[in-house]
């Protein structure tokens, strides 16, 4: 058993990768779904096992391939931050797969269902690999695995617009990955290593000439990751990808893909770049701050004017990404804690919101607001869960979203940034408007057409929806897990900066 625990880091990636291959060998959609659920369940159990190892004492857990030492080998490294993100990816994956049991057969051609689950697990494996690896090039490899699978998943929808959305996603994603790997090349050229820990140590002795190369590399990496995480104004691929993808894909990507990209920004800036070049990175951090604030306001305004509920939620995701990156820019304990904890809080509520829209699409075949009139009367549990998720997006007390915004405001006040506090409140007010727009349509109009005959969706859709919406309330009232782990991660990151 101890030997098995020792290999949990690599099993975290091997399990979904291996079962993805098995899913391609069957043409039976239900069997592929069962294998995917088994994989996701095992992945979550492995994460729990890793948490037990980490909580037993060590600040981090290292896994070296082939018995070689760093920097000759690929290394997986686990600490509080990537443990937090592992939980996000695996919880959202498992919840989305339960939802997919009913939604996928109704939105994807039967002959493609097995391939859907194979691509889903491949995407999950890539995301988990990015989170765990401590090797820069390995990071890029896993980025490409998850990205290629994501493009296929988006394109699988029956709506022809999904193909165009997937193509645009592919173009932007490829540009982002290319920028990222070019940046890694500059870092390798300067330091002679791809291991992130070893790289951080060698940056200490970088010459002035080396520093110019390093900053070019940092610039390429930053732009590449900003494209991947959809930071305003590099977000234009996201609304179409989330709007026209199958409902299960929208829910999964909204809760995981951008969160992992943000994790990479945190890891590289706080653990690799900032310890040596902290003061010289302030212009980049200030630019991040401005773009984060712009995202919070402008993307929220864009959400208000949408007539399609999935597109509304997609623009809301761009705004919520702004909250997370804002926390990173504050560079203090409360701000960083708020940004990190919002990774999980937003993943839970946004996935719940997309599943609610998926349930409505399952019943009436549309998520256009004009077709959803009165849906709250005929699908009461679905819309009640959406309201709870919406309250989390707004940041109402007793929801997980409130905790995030409380810490972000506290971090901004500590820095004396009163305008930032005002913008957080304005953005929250705009969230009231766009969430209220859906609620008003659902509850204050008489149901007509398909909405008048609708009813709440089957168990496989309602179970993950209720779980995720309920989790927002639970984690808003009992913050030991999400806030506690985020605080530990923030403390370790800031300790690396000497704070």
Q: According to the 3-state scheme, what is the secondary structure of 268-312?
A: HHHHHHHHHHCHHHHHHHHHHHHHHHHHHHHHHHHHHCCCEHHHH
**pLDDT confidence band for 496 (50 / 70 / 90):** low
Q: How many CB atoms lie within 10 A of CB 276?
A: 17
Average pLDDT in the 185-197 region?
86
Q: Tell me the domain boundaries of the chain.
A: 278-499
Q: Which of 21-48 are b and which e, b meaning 16 or more Cβ less than 10 Å from the residue's Cβ?
A: ebbeebeebebbbbbbbebbebbbebbe
- Give the least confident one: 19-33, 203-217, 358-372, 446-460: 203-217
**pLDDT confidence band for 86 (50 / 70 / 90):** very high
Average pLDDT in the 391-405 region?
88
Structure tokens at 470: 């309920």
Q: How far is CA 12 from CA 15, 43, 44, 130, in A?
A: 6, 6, 9, 11
Q: Is the pLDDT of residue 499 over 60?
A: no
**pLDDT confidence band for 329 (50 / 70 / 90):** confident
Q: Is the pLDDT of residue 376 over 70?
A: yes
Do 12 and 132 touch, CB atoms closer than 8 A? Answer: yes
**pLDDT confidence band for 287 (50 / 70 / 90):** confident
Average pLDDT in the 137-157 region?
91
Q: Is the pLDDT of residue 277 over 70?
A: no
Q: What is the pTM of this model?
A: 0.91
Q: Which of 386-414 are b and which e, b meaning 16 or more Cβ less than 10 Å from the residue's Cβ?
A: bbbbbbbbbbbeebbbbbbbbbbbbbbee
Average pLDDT in the 174-179 region?
92
Q: What is the mean pLDDT of the chain?
A: 87
């Amino acid at each position: 058993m101890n030997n098995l625990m020792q290999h949990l880091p690599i099993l975290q990636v091997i399990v979904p990768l291996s079962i993805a291959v098995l899913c391609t060998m069957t043409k039976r959609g239900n069997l592929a779904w069962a294998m995917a659920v088994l994989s996701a369940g095992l992945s979550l159990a492995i994460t729990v096992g890793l948490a037990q190892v980490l909580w037993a004492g060590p600040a981090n857990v290292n896994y070296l391939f082939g018995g070689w030492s760093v920097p000759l080998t690929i290394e997986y490294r686990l600490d509080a931050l990537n443990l937090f993100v592992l939980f996000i990816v695996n919880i959202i994956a498992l919840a989305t797969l339960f939802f997919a049991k009913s939604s996928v057969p109704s939105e994807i051609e039967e002959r493609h269902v097995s391939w859907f689950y194979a691509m889903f697990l491949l995407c999950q494996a890539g995301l988990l690999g990015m989170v765990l690896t401590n090797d820069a090039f390995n990071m890029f490899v896993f980025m490409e695995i998850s990205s290629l699978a994501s493009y296929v998943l988006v394109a699988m929808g029956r709506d022809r617009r999904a193909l165009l959305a997937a193509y645009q996603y592919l173009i932007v994603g490829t540009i982002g990955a290319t920028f990222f790997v070019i940046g890694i090349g500059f870092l390798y050229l300067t330091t002679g290593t791809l291991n992130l820990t070893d790289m951080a140590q060698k940056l200490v002795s970088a010459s002035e000439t080396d520093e110019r190369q390093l900053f070019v590399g940092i610039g390429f990496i930053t732009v590449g990751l900003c494209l991947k995480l959809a930071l305003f104004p590099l977000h234009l691929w996201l609304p179409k990808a989330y709007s026209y993808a199958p409902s299960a894909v929208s829910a999964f990507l909204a809760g995981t893909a951008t969160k992992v990209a943000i994790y990479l920004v945190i890891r590289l800036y706080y653990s690799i770049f900032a310890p040596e070049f902290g003061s010289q990175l302030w212009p980049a951090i200030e630019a991040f701050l401005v773009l984060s604030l712009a995202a919070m306001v402008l993307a929220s305004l864009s959400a208000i004017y949408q007539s399609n509920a999935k597109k509304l939620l997609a623009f809301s995701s761009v705004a919520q990404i702004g909250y997370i990156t804002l926390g990173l820019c504050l560079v203090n304990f409360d701000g960083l804690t708020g940004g990190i904890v919002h990774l999980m809080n937003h993943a839970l509520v946004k996935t719940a919101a997309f599943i609610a829209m998926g349930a409505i699409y399952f019943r009436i075949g549309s998520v256009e607001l004009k077709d959803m009139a009165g849906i709250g009367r005929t699908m009461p549990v679905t819309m009640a869960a959406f309201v709870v998720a919406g309250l989390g997006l707004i940041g109402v007390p007793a929801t997980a979203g409130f905790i995030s915004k409380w810490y972000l405001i506290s971090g901004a006040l500590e820095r004396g940034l009163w305008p930032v506090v005002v913008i957080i409140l304005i953005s929250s007010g705009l969230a009231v408007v766009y969430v209220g727009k859906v609620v008003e349509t659902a509850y204050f109009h008489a149901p007509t057409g398909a909405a008048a005959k609708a009813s709440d969706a089957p168990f496989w859709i309602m179970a993950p929806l209720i779980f995720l919406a309920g989790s927002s309330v639970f984690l808003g009232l009992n913050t030991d897990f999400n806030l506690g782990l985020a605080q530990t991660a923030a403390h370790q990151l800031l300790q690396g900066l000497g704070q």
